[in-house]
């Protein structure tokens, strides 16, 4: 058995030729003429065939790198017969470096002075005596620059997943392991060209140096000094199985971080369910495909795209920015908030009588006193009385935020779309002030003069369709608020007072709430309180 170094053959004098494909990996058995690597120059694509049959024990190139004639491609462990077999040797002008345990002298010549070329062989540190431990991930490739502490490989036993960190900074020259290999303490991981100024700590060499060398039968491992088995290395081994609910190596975690993928959601297809890069890539692809197929990317089947012109004449017009924003807001609230809507009617006959009495005074003040200022005032009282409605679920999902201010949003339909200006400190304002502010904000909304600050900070919203019509609707909660009051058109209705039917002005109301934040009983109490105030506005002064 001998170790043969396979080099880049004569490639017509081209230099800096791209390595576009590595056709073999450590551990692969190759036959004569099997392609080892595919190179691409400006002019040609070249497959470099193997001149010998054998087992790949290290690969010195990586995809994306560049090479020239004479650069080392890999090392082959060649059985004696095969080595003796005359082979076409287009691979190297110079004699292939042959080395074996039986004849290490030649190899020693080139490797005996590590201090000069400053290369180090990095081996598997103390892994608690475990043997036959799976290499589940190679975290580096030939040509990579690593810093001390960077993960080189990830090992996995029945009990733990361990990252093996680099004891030194430097450049990876050759890798002696492949994913799927099994290793034990002392086995060679890779060759590192130490970074300038990095000194090898002169500690006790790994005890199993000789056996590791024999196992790999590599000229390099047979003669190069083994790295110090420092305590640091041993302690730096990280048990990943305890820190995550998934198995994934650092390279995969890095990729996931870059793509914003939550690895908890990715199914691993590697050994023992380990997540590999391809799993992350497939996850992203399917997420993108799902986003394309669904309006909100929430796994909801898409509304089919229909060519309506097949059925008759159509006009296609662009959506306004405001409309697009409304789409986003509505969908977000509708999909996030489990809605419940309760319906009731308030007898506002007395309120309407009072409002009618105030009409002249309102005119003299230049204020239009519609039912809305009363509704605002009464909602403010109800919110103060029922703090669960003047609250929001905290974004952390662990807390409720109770607000000690009462700002109420008021839905306003405008030609450009729906907007919700906010009236601040409703509880502290008079009906006249509220009436004036409703008119002012309503006008600003219709003239598109609202500033972002005018539409922020609401605790609750009123959506009134009272001047338009309808006997009831289910308003959508303006999340993160937890409730919204829908106001429909007041109508005179016969109401039984115990002895006769009386014509009463009944106002249909609907209260939608976020059932995560508010339960039905809370909503019932809030709604009843609200209705009682609307039915008897004298209570406003209590
Ligand atoms: N039932 C019957 N009549 C009602 C009513 C109700 N629930 N609410 C208001 N009205 C009456 C008012 O009293 C007024 O009548 P008068 O002119 O005879 O006094 C008339 O309807 C028009 O009121 P208004 O709309 O001018 O005033 P408002 O205070 O009720 O509302 C504002 C102000 C800015 C909210 C309103 O102009 C507006 O834009 N409404 C549209 C609301 C909307 O688009 N909602 C859609 C929400 S979609 O989620």
DSSP class per residue in 364-385: HHT----HHHHHHHHHHHHHHH
Residue 128 has pLDDT above 80, yes or no: no
Average pLDDT rounded to a whole number, residues 109-133: 69
- Which residue is catalytic, options 323, 386, 407, 515? 515
**pLDDT confidence of residue 123:** 93
Residue 430's pLDDT is 95
pLDDT of 12 above 90: no
Q: Does the CB atom of residue 358 touch ligand 1 within 6 A?
A: no
440 or 238, greater pLDDT: 440
The pLDDT of residue 458 is 97
Stretch among 115-124, 365-374, 449-458 having the lowest mean pLDDT? 115-124
* 487 C-beta closer than 6 A to ligand 1: yes
| Whole-number Å distance between alpha carbons of 116 and 511 | 81
- Residue 42's pLDDT is 63
486-521 per-position pLDDT tens digit = 999 999 999 999 999 999 999 999 999 999 999 999
Residue 316 reports pLDDT greater than 70: yes
Q: Is the CB of 376 under 6 A from ligand 1?
A: no
Cβ-proximal residues to 174 (8 Å cutoff; 6+ apart), any chain: 58, 59, 60, 72, 75, 142, 190, 191, 220
pLDDT band at residue 1 under the 50/70/90 scheme = confident
- Is pLDDT of 469 > 60? yes
The Å distance, Cα 432 to ligand 1 centre, comes to 16
Q: Indicate if ligand 1 lies below 6 Å from the C-beta of 410.
A: yes
CA of 539 to the centre of ligand 1 (A): 24
What is the mean predicted confidence (pLDDT) over 137-145? Answer: 87
Q: Which atom of ligand 1 is nearest to the CA of 476?
A: 49
- Pick 462 or 81 by higher pLDDT: 462
If you take atom 18 of ligand 1, which residue's CA is the nearest one? 370
- Determine the Cα–Cα distance for residues 229 and 209; give it in Å rounded to an integer: 11
Confidence (pTM): 0.53
What pLDDT score was predicted for residue 159?
A: 60
How much distance in Å is there from the Cα of 24 to the middle of ligand 1?
76
How far from 162 is each of 154, 159, 242, CA to CA, in Å? 5, 10, 10
**Where residue 264 falls among pLDDT bands split at 50, 70, 90?**
confident
For 401, the token pair is 């935020």
pLDDT band, very low/low/confident/very high, at 107 (cuts 50, 70, 90): very low
Comparing C-alpha atoms, which of 388, 405, 391 is closest to residue 523? 388
Residue 103: pLDDT over 70: no
Q: How many angstroms does the Cα of residue 440 sit away from the middle of ligand 1?
A: 14
Q: Average of pLDDT values for 258-277?
A: 78
Q: For all residues of the chain together, what is the average pLDDT? A: 81
Ligand 1 near 339 CB (within 6 A):
no
435 within ligand 1 shell (Cβ under 6 A): no
Q: How far lies 1's CA from each of 98, 187, 257, in Å?
A: 10, 19, 45
Q: Is the pLDDT of residue 219 over 80?
A: no
Report, as an integer, the average pLDDT of 291-317. Answer: 79
> Cα of 296 to ligand 1 centre, how many Å?
33
Is a pLDDT exceeding 90 seen at residue 157? no
Question: What pLDDT was estimated at residue 16?
Answer: 84
Phi, psi of 437 (to 5 degrees): -70, -35
How do the residues of the chain divide into helix, strand and coil, expressed in percent and rounded to 5? 30, 25, 45
| Residue 323 annotated among the catalytic residues of the structure | no
Which atom of ligand 1 is nearest to 507's Cα? 7
> Whose C-alpha lies nearest to ligand 1, atom 5?
466
Contacts of 352-361 with C-beta under 8 Å, sequence gap 24+, read: 352/490, 352/505, 354/537
Separation of alpha carbons 536 and 85, rounded Å: 108
Q: What is the pLDDT of residue 180?
A: 83
The finding on whether 444 has its CB within 6 A of some atom of ligand 1 is: no
Residue 30, pLDDT > 70, answer yes
Tell me the CB-side half-sphere exposure of residue 191, using CA atoms within 13 A: 26
Which of ligand 1's atoms lies nearest the C-alpha of 442? 34
Compute the distance between CA of residue 175 and CA of residue 109 in angstroms, rounded to an integer: 21
pLDDT of residue 131: 83
CB 28 within 8 A of CB 56: yes
């Amino acid at each position: 058995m001998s170790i043969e170094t396979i080099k880049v053959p004569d490639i017509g004098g081209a230099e800096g030729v791209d390595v576009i494909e590595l056709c073999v990996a450590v551990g692969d058995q190759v036959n004569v003429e099997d392609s080892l690597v595919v190179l691409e120059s400006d002019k040609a694509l070249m497959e470099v065939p193997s001149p010998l049959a054998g087992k790949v024990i290290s690969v010195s190139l990586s995809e994306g790198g560049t090479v020239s004639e004479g650069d080392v491609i890999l090392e082959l462990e060649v059985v004696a017969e095969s080595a003796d077999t005359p082979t076409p040797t287009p691979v190297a002008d110079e004699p292939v470096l042959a080395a074996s345990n039986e004849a290490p002298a030649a190899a020693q010549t080139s490797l005996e002075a590590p201090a000069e070329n400053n290369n180090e062989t990095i081996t598997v540190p103390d892994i608690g005596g475990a043997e036959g431990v799976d290499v589940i991930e190679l975290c580096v490739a030939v040509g990579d620059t690593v810093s001390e502490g960077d993960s080189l490989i990830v090992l996995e036993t029945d009990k733990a997943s361990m990252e093996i960190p680099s004891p030194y900074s430097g450049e990876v020259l050759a890798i002696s392991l492949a994913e799927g290999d099994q290793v034990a303490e002392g086995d060679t991981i890779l060759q590192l060209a130490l970074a300038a100024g990095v000194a090898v700590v002169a500690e006790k060499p790994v005890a199993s140096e000789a056996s590791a060398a024999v196992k790999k039968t590599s000229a390099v491992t047979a003669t190069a000094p083994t790295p110090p088995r420092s305590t640091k290395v041993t302690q730096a081994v990280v048990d990943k199985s305890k820190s995550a609910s998934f198995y994934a190596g650092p390279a995969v975690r890095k990729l996931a971080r870059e793509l914003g993928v939550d690895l908890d959601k990715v199914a691993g297809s590697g050994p023992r369910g380990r997540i590999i890069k391809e799993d992350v890539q497939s996850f992203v692809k399917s997420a993108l495909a799902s986003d394309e197929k669904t309006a909100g990317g929430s796994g909801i089947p898409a509304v089919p795209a229909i060519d309506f012109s097949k059925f008759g004449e159509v006009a296609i017009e662009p959506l306004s920015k405001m409309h697009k924003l409304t789409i986003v807001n509505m969908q977000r609230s509708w999909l996030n908030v489990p809605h419940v809507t309760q319906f009731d009617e308030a007898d506002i006959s007395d309120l309407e009588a009072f409002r009618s009495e105030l009409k002249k005074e309102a005119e003299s003040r230049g204020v239009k006193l519609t039912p809305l200022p009363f509704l605002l005032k009464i909602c403010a009282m109800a919110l103060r009385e029922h703090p669960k409605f003047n609250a929001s679920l905290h974004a952390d999902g662990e807390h409720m935020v109770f607000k000690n201010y009462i700002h109420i949003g008021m839905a306003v339909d405008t030609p450009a779309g729906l907007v919700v200006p906010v009236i601040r400190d409703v509880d502290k304002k008079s009906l006249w002030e509220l009436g004036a502010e409703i008119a002012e904000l309503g006008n600003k909304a219709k003239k598109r003069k609202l500033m972002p600050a005018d539409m922020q900070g609401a605790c609750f919203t009123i959506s009134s369709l009272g001047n338009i019509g309808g006997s009831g609707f289910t308003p959508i909660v303006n999340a993160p608020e937890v409730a919204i009051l829908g106001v429909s058109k007041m109508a005179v209705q016969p109401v039984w007072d115990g002895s006769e039917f009386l014509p009463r002005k009944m106002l249909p109301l609907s209260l939608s709430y976020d059932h995560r934040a508010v339960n039905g009983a809370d909503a019932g109490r809030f709604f009843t309180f609200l209705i009682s105030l609307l039915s008897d506005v004298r209570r406003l002064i209590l």
